[in-house]
Amino acid sequence: MLKKIFKIISFYDEVRWSSDSNYNLINFYKKNLDDDAKLLTHWLCYIADRQMAFERIWEVGGFVFSELADQFKKKRDLQLLNYKKPNSFIEKNGKGGYNFKSNSEVNNNQILKKSYKYKETGIVKFTPRYYPSDYFSILYTFDILKEYNFSLTKFIVEQLKKYQHTDDSIKRILFSLYLLTYFEIRQPQKSDIDNFQININKAEKRTIKVIQILNNKFEDEYQSFKKNKIFNQKRAWCSLRDFFKSPEFKVYFESSLKKESFDTKQLFTLNSLQQLEMPGDVWNNNSKFRHCILENTEYENSKKSLNIILRDYFDKNKDELNNCYPEQFDITFDFVPRMCEKNNCDICPIGLLKGKKKSNFEKTCVNDMDLYCSVALTNCNYKINCFGDKCKLTRNHYE
């Protein structure tokens, strides 16, 4: 049963990434950023992606962080994060705290003008919910990138060259990115931002430690990380996942790698995707969803996070799961609020698969290739044209 559920989830995931209309795009402060600056912007947005509306992160934060990333690469100066400097991207807010802010005006940015009521001459301000730790994550990231010609792509390429021939190369890249941004951040206070020189000294000491791990102590630290911490890196996994799967960011990522003379032929493969871990969150650990898919399995009473369970099941059944893999279950972010939380079991394909009485699933399937797939639209708000008789979802019920 769980094998067939994997296939159902795989259908939704393929639809999700088939069109950029199915996810939020970054509101870059200008259009002609280079690919590496776009990747760095994306990475910075995910640093701030905690417990606030994702639209504000990508649309308001994206404007600010894209300018910060662009100027960091051009000016190569960490003083951009010193609130005492006139060109800083952080400022005191008059309430004892800080904001990230742009240096550029809104001008004709329609998203900011229409959705957030900014004036053309306005300066954009963005305050992530956990901005003290986000600030230090960004500062520490920038300090390490100084060692890699101020380039996120160059940092990734250096790690890929070391591990591209290992069977867990993507997990090793994830660990490297964790070291870049999240290692030893802890829980700083907003008052810790006050003394920039002290923070620079901390950043430099941390950079030395991280470089030592990357160059000399990687294997031991990685094996320890892989046992437990690797499943808790939601923001890092989301960002790395997008570099491999997003119709937008995969293009930027592949282009940036090629500019660094890295051969990408063996990178963008099913094996790479199968190494991705599902970002654990409240939706994929929703009790209704968990009980439904784990019922009558060896995991039915497990207290482990679902991403750990799915990894274990996948590793045991990999040869039978074809093109499926654990990370695809991240569609629960869109599926669970619309289906499980609304008690829509009667129109759920998993319910039909499990033989639920009074299933009305087939009433939601229009089977008309001139229309959107009504199942994907209803279940996840994903837009794609109906596949007709070639639909993998309806086939999976009878295989």
State pLDDT tens for residues 180-235: 999 999 899 999 999 999 999 999 999 999 999 999 999 999 999 998 899 999 99
Query: pLDDT tens digits, residue range 245-265?
Result: 999 999 999 999 999 999 999
| Average of per-residue pLDDT across 361-387 | 92
- Domain layout of the chain by residue ranges: 2-18+279-396, 33-274
User: Does the pLDDT at position 395 exceed 70?
Assistant: no
User: Does the pLDDT at position 399 exceed 70?
Assistant: no
328 or 395, greater pLDDT: 328
Q: Is 161 exposed, middle or buried (0-12, 13-18, 19+ CB in 10 A)?
A: exposed
| Average of per-residue pLDDT across 361-381 | 91
User: Does the pLDDT at position 372 exceed 60?
Assistant: yes
- DSSP codes of every residue in 221-274: HHHHHHHTGGGG-HHHHHHHHHHHH-TTHHHHHHHHHHHTT---TTTSSHHHHH
Hey, what amino acid is at 39?
L
| Average of per-residue pLDDT across 347-352 | 89
42 or 21, greater pLDDT: 42
Hey, what amino acid is at 309?
I
pLDDT at 359: 82
pLDDT at 133: 97
- % helix, strand, coil for the chain, step of 5: 60, 5, 35
Distances from the Cα of 199 to the Cαs of 25, 66, 195, 203, in angstroms?
Answer: 32, 23, 6, 6
> Does the predicted model carry a pTM greater than 0.85?
yes
pLDDT at 210: 98
Look up tokens 């509306």; give the residue.
53
Distance CA(116)–CA(110), nearest Å, equals 9
Query: pLDDT tens digits, residue range 59-110?
Result: 999 999 999 999 999 999 999 999 999 999 999 998 889 999 999 999 999 9
pLDDT at 398: 40
Return phi, psi of residue 92, to 5°.
-75, 145
